[in-house]
Amino acid sequence: MSEPKRLAEAFLQTTYQVAGHSKRDVQQLKQAFEAVDGGTASDVYGSGPIIEEFQQKMAQYLGKETAVFFPSGTMAQQIALRIWCDHKGIKRVGYHPLSHLELHEENALQELHGIESVHLTDRDSVIRLEDVQRLQEEVACVLLELPQREIGGQLPSYEELVAISAHCREKGIHLHLDGARLFEILPYYQKSAEEVCALFDSVYVSFYKGIGGIAGAILAGDAAFTEESKVWKRRYGGDLISLYPYIVSADYYFDLRVGKMEQYYADAKELAALYNQCHAVTTRPEVPVSNMFHVHVAVPKEKLESIVASICEETGIGLTHYVRETAEQTSYYEVGVGDRYAAIPKEELRHAFQLLNKKLSGVE
C-alpha cells in the first residue's frame, strides 16, 4: 500500500483526531435540521424569512448595512472584486500571491471578468502597509485574507491593518476582506467582528471553516454594493431557488461555535507548543494567532507519512490524514483546531507527541 493511502486508512481507524470538529457526513445536516419544523417555508430565489433573517443577523454581526448569502466564497469574492473594478473603471486588483483567487479558482478573475491581479508581496510574507504604499500600478481594490491561510494562518498586527485601511481610503482604493476565517482571528486581535469589518468596504465570511457548517458564505457591505452583488449572483447561477440547506446549517453552527473561538485559539497555541517540542518540527507561525497553523517537518514526505501512520496505529490518535511536500523536499500539513481537540485525554495526547519526538529523533 502507498504511504499516503496507509496514512489515510490508519487515520480513519483512530479513536481521536486532533484537528477539526467532526466527520463531514450527513449527520452534520441532520443535526442542524433536527429542531427545525418541517413546515418552515423555503427561501425562494433570495426571498423569504429563512434567508432574509440570516442575512440581517450576519449584517448586524459584521457591522455592515446589508449582507447576501452565497453558495460559495469563490463566487462571492469574484463578484465583490468585479463590482469594485466597475466602480473605479480599473480592471486590476491587488492581493497575496497565495490567495484563494490565485490558487484555487482556475484563473476565474481573468477568464470571467478580464481582471488582472497584482501580487502585493512575496509568497512567504503577510501583506504590510509598505507593500500597498509602493504599488506601482493603479488597482481598484486590495484584498486582504485574514489570516493568510497558505502561510499557516499569519496576521499583520491590528495597528498595521488600521494603517492599511487608512491608506486605501486616502488613495480611493477599495479594501475587501477575505474573512474565510474571520471568526477565528477575533480572539487574537481582541476585537469584535464589527471593529475589524469597519476597516473594509466589503467582507466575505465562510461557514464551513471554524464554524463547521456544510457550505455557504456571506458577502456584506453597504446596500448599493450588496444590491449589485445580487445581480451578479443571478448571473453566476448562484441565486438558487432554495439555499436553505446551507443557510439553516450555517445559522445552527454559527450559534453553536462562534462563542468557542477563544477556546480553539487557546487549544491551537497549546497544540503548536507540543509540536515545537519535537525534533525536526516547527510550526508556522510558531505561536498561532488563530485556530490554525502549519506543521513543518524537516523529513521527506514519505518518511513523515510513515511515522504519522504508525502513531495512528500505536496510540489511536490521528495527528493528520495527509502530508504535503515542500519545494525543499521537507514536508508539512495544516492543522485547524475545532471541537475534537478538547475530547482527547491529555495524557494520551502527550504520549503521542513523545512518540512523535522519538520517531523523528530516530530513537525509536
Contact assessment for residue 245 and residue 29, using Cβ atoms and an 8 Å cutoff: yes
Residue with cell string 520517531: 359
Please report whether residue 25 would count as binding a copy of itself according to CB under 8 A.
Answer: yes
C-alpha cell, 240? 438558487
Please report whether residue 166 would count as binding a copy of itself according to CB under 8 A.
Answer: no
Closest approach of Cβ 231 to a copy of itself, in Å? 5
Order the strands of the 281-284 sheet from edge to edge: 281-284, 292-297, 331-336, 324-325
Please report whether residue 105 would count as binding a copy of itself according to CB under 8 A.
Answer: yes
Closest approach of Cβ 16 to a copy of itself, in Å? 18
Residue with cell string 427561501: 43
Closest approach of Cβ 191 to a copy of itself, in Å? 28
- Determine the interface stretch with a copy of itself among 54-62, 105-113, 330-338, 354-362 (rule: CB under 8 A): 105-113
Please report how the helices 346-361 and 301-315 are oriented relative to each other, as an axis angle in degrees rounded to 10. 140
Binding mask 189-218 for a copy of itself (x = CB under 8 A): -------------------x-----xx---
Q: Which of 20, 60, 63, 72 binds a copy of itself (CB under 8 A)?
A: 72
- Determine the interface stretch with a copy of itself among 110-118, 302-310, 346-354, 355-363 (rule: CB under 8 A): 110-118
Contact assessment for residue 15 and residue 316, using Cβ atoms and an 8 Å cutoff: yes
Closest approach of Cβ 186 to a copy of itself, in Å? 23
Please report whether residue 55 would count as binding a copy of itself according to CB under 8 A.
Answer: no
Q: How many residues bind a copy of itself (CB under 8 A)?
A: 52
- Determine the interface stretch with a copy of itself among 66-74, 262-270, 293-301, 351-359 (rule: CB under 8 A): 66-74
CB neighbours of residue 286 within 10 Å: 12
- Residue ranges in 114-143 that form contacts with a copy of itself under rule CB under 8 A: none
- Residue ranges in 73-92 that form contacts with a copy of itself under rule CB under 8 A: 73-76, 78
Closest approach of Cβ 54 to a copy of itself, in Å? 14
CA 277 vs CA 11, 91, 341: distances in Å: 23, 48, 18
- Residue ranges in 232-291 that form contacts with a copy of itself under rule CB under 8 A: 232, 234-246, 248
Q: Which of 40, 56, 277, 361 binds a copy of itself (CB under 8 A)?
A: 40
Question: Which stretches does DSSP call E strand in 66-136?
Answer: 66-70, 92-95, 116-119
Closest approach of Cβ 77 to a copy of itself, in Å? 8
Q: Say which residues have a Cβ less than 8 Å from residue 217's Cβ, sequence separation at least 6.
A: 69, 70, 71, 72, 73, 75, 76, 204, 205, 206, 207
C-alpha cell, 119? 501580487
Please report whether residue 179 would count as binding a copy of itself according to CB under 8 A.
Answer: no
In this structure, the dihedral spanned by the alpha carbons of residues 220, 226, 232 and 233, taken in order and rounded to 10 degrees, is: 60
* DSSP three-state, residue 221: strand
Q: In this structure, what are the phi and psi dihedrals at residue 311, rounded to the nearest 5 degrees?
A: -70, -40
Nearer to a copy of itself, 71 or 187 (CB): 71
Instruction: Summarize as ranges the residues that interact with a copy of itself (CB under 8 A).
Output: 23-30, 33, 36-42, 44, 70-76, 78, 104-108, 111-113, 208, 214-215, 231-232, 234-246, 248
